[in-house]
Amino acid sequence: TRTTRPQRLLQAVSINAVRGDPDSVIKAIDHFCKHTEWAMNVGDEKGAILDLVVMETCPSTVLELGTYCGYSTVRITRLLPPATKLITVEMNPEYAHVARQVIQHAGLQDKVCVLEGESADLIPKMANMFGIQAFDFVFLDHWKDHYLPDIRLLEDCGLLAQGSVVLADNVVCPGAPDYLNYVRYNLKYSSRFYQAHLEYTRVLDGLERSEYQGD
């Protein structure tokens, strides 16, 4: 096929969503994925849980690992007050390019920094790059076998503080058993599971919310 799935998703956004309206971008992507072509966005069901966790956290510094087409980036950023910043990391340059255009269509480009590269390489540089101490909210939605090494790296780089909230997608499907075991049985975290379904399907999935208790 000439175009890629992210490019077809972006075309659906540019045709069906109102420029500057994040909610219309979210609706356009969910409609595309329900009626035209499945894509691995967090989706509407898990997205509503993501919204609630973001709203109760009221974060001023946010990190997302795994941008893909920017769906969850738009979901999170639309809830953030003006002065906040969201950093999102994507290793696939083609995904990052599409995500920047989706984020721009939503009018949220001034609040988002899309970093291209490996999370393991970029995390140690973030404190200096952005002049931040800790992240108030972290959304894990990249390759499941990177969840555990990356949360450990965030701890080691001092990028988690008491009260920092880490929300992980796909802890059931595709699953992240080593990560779940770590956050559920480690006294440094208070963890809870939100049962849901794999985006746009009836397959069981869920999100794990883990609050860092401090060093």
Ligand X SMILES: Oc1cc(-c2ccc(F)cc2)cc2nccnc12
Binding mask 31-50 for ligand X (x = CB under 6 A): ---------x----------
Q: Are 108 and 79 in contact (CB under 8 A)?
A: no
Cα(11)–Cα(8) distance, integer angstroms: 5
Binding mask 84-123 for ligand X (x = CB under 6 A): ----------------------------------------
141 binds ligand X (CB under 6 A): yes
| Residues with active-site annotation | 141, 144, 169-170, 199
Contacts 24+ apart (CB under 8 A), 21-28: 21/106, 21/107, 22/74, 22/75, 22/77, 22/78, 22/106, 22/107, 22/108, 23/78, 25/74, 25/102, 25/105, 25/106, 26/71, 26/74, 26/75, 26/78
Choose the contact partner of 90 out of ligand X, Mg ion, none; CB within 5 to 8 A by kind.
none
In terms of CB distance, is 41 or 57 closer to Mg ion?
Answer: 41
72 binds ligand X (CB under 6 A): no
148 binds ligand X (CB under 6 A): no
Residue 33 CB, nearest approach to ligand X (Å)? 11
